[in-house]
Amino acid sequence: MYGGVTRGAQVTGIVMCSLSLTWISTILRFYVRISILKFVGREDWLTIAAMIPFTVFCCLCMLDESYGLGAHMENIDAGFKQTGFKIIFICELLYVVSTTVTKISISAYFLRLSIKKYQRVVIFTTLSIVLIFSTMYFFFLLFQCTPINFLWTQYEDGQGTCLRSPMLASVTYAHCAMSALTDWSFGILPVFFVWKMQMTARTKLSVILVLSLGFFASTATIVRIVYVKSLTDTEDWSWEGINLVKWSMVEPAIAITAMNIATLRPMFNNFFHFASSRRVDSTVDSEEGRSSDDSQFPQKRCRGHANYVNANEYSVEFAQLLGLSRVGVTTSITAGGSEEERKQMRNIFMLGKRSRSAMREKCDTESQTELNPVPMPEETIDWSGGIKATTVVTQSRQ
């Protein structure tokens, strides 16, 4: 449908790579959720909602090769220009939709992980900025020409007007800057998720790296800015626009793939069994036949918990989603009995809490001294009124 040289084949390669990475990672994500975690959340359905417009966007870009995308404008017939620019117009809108829904999905996932009020405030603030800017940019692209169809009918003596290229470029710069800033915000936030949590440095680093992969999407956004500028200096849009089209596909592809990889940590734990888990198992198995001094065993257990954290540090859901194991003791006190009995039970609870704090301090300092047993009150408790306290020891492995 056109003559001369073309760079359209570059689009085909980008489309195949982008769709392969995003769909494979999405399938693995649902495997983890269904087979390992046994639930599917709203962020997973939002991922599918982002994949649908992104897939259509990529397919339309590949179809547009047949109508001159990647060829010089002078080599394309006027009728094919009309069809080609109509497809490009639809692709522009689908790009905005796919990137916006992807960021909504990332926000929903981080909201599930957040445990502090300020984290939720950051997420909602970032999401609000995304929705406001993306909505404005969507309608700006939709009404860039008056009437709307003049964008493609201008090549067949259509009547109307379009915004000048510098204005289009300025608005696109603003949208790109917003997209990059929100990517950085979502990339930095995981550091604050785990910064003060008691876990080994290796586990903490792995969690941060997995959750901060969205940083890479901002690189594609920055590259897009360079190619947006190149379009303001030319009238050969089908030839020069090929680079902008490619990076417009790469940006959401990286974001979706990174978002999916962030949910795969439980699968990595099941398949590869981190060395920390193996050390815990070997330490526990050797408890019966160990020849070393018994006073060193609590220290060895603490060293073995490379992928374990105290159950009081964060929620069960946080641990499950990131493939972490929670170990801890939870004591609850119930009402009933005399005031003296309730006072005794509170004393027991506080003694147990101090004992757990001493155990954590012992693990951190790698002390060789065995902890003293928790003293119990000498007074006897009348249990005729029912159970006054319940102690639950939790030890789960992903």
**Statement: residue 364 has pLDDT above 70:** no
Reported as a single tens digit per residue, the pLDDT across 169-208 is 889 999 999 998 998 888 888 888 777 776 677 777 777 7
Q: Which helix (H) or strand (E) holds 146?
A: strand 145-146
pLDDT at 331: 46
Top-confidence range, 32-41, 119-128, 295-304, 320-329: 119-128
Q: When comparing pLDDT for 176 and 299, which is higher?
A: 176
Residue 110, Cβ density class (10 Å: 0-12 exposed, 13-18 middle, ≥19 buried) = buried
Per-residue pLDDT band for 295 (boundaries 50, 70, 90) equals: very low
Per-residue pLDDT band for 392 (boundaries 50, 70, 90) equals: very low
Per-residue pLDDT band for 213 (boundaries 50, 70, 90) equals: confident
**Statement: residue 334 has pLDDT above 70:** no
Per-residue pLDDT band for 280 (boundaries 50, 70, 90) equals: very low
Give the up-direction half-sphere exposure of residue 339: CA atoms within 13 A in the CB hemisphere.
Answer: 0
CATH of region 9-270, choose from 1.10.3090, 1.10.10, 1.10.490, 1.20.1070? 1.20.1070
Per-residue pLDDT band for 340 (boundaries 50, 70, 90) equals: low
Reported as a single tens digit per residue, the pLDDT across 20-69 is 999 999 999 999 999 988 888 899 999 999 999 999 999 999 999 888 88
pLDDT at 100: 95
SS3 369: coil
pLDDT at 165: 80
**Statement: residue 291 has pLDDT above 70:** no
pLDDT at 339: 62
Give the up-direction half-sphere exposure of residue 119: CA atoms within 13 A in the CB hemisphere.
Answer: 20
CB 44 within 8 A of CB 33: yes
**Helices and strands (H, E) in the chain, number of each type:** 14, 5
pTM higher than 0.95 for the full model? Answer: no
Mean residue pLDDT across the chain? 76
Q: Structural domain boundaries of the chain?
A: 9-270, 275-395
Which one, of 165, 157, 301, lies nearest residue 240 by Cα? 165
pLDDT at 14: 93
**Statement: residue 93 has pLDDT above 90:** yes
Per-residue pLDDT band for 343 (boundaries 50, 70, 90) equals: low
Reported as a single tens digit per residue, the pLDDT across 135-161 is 999 999 999 999 999 988 888 777 888
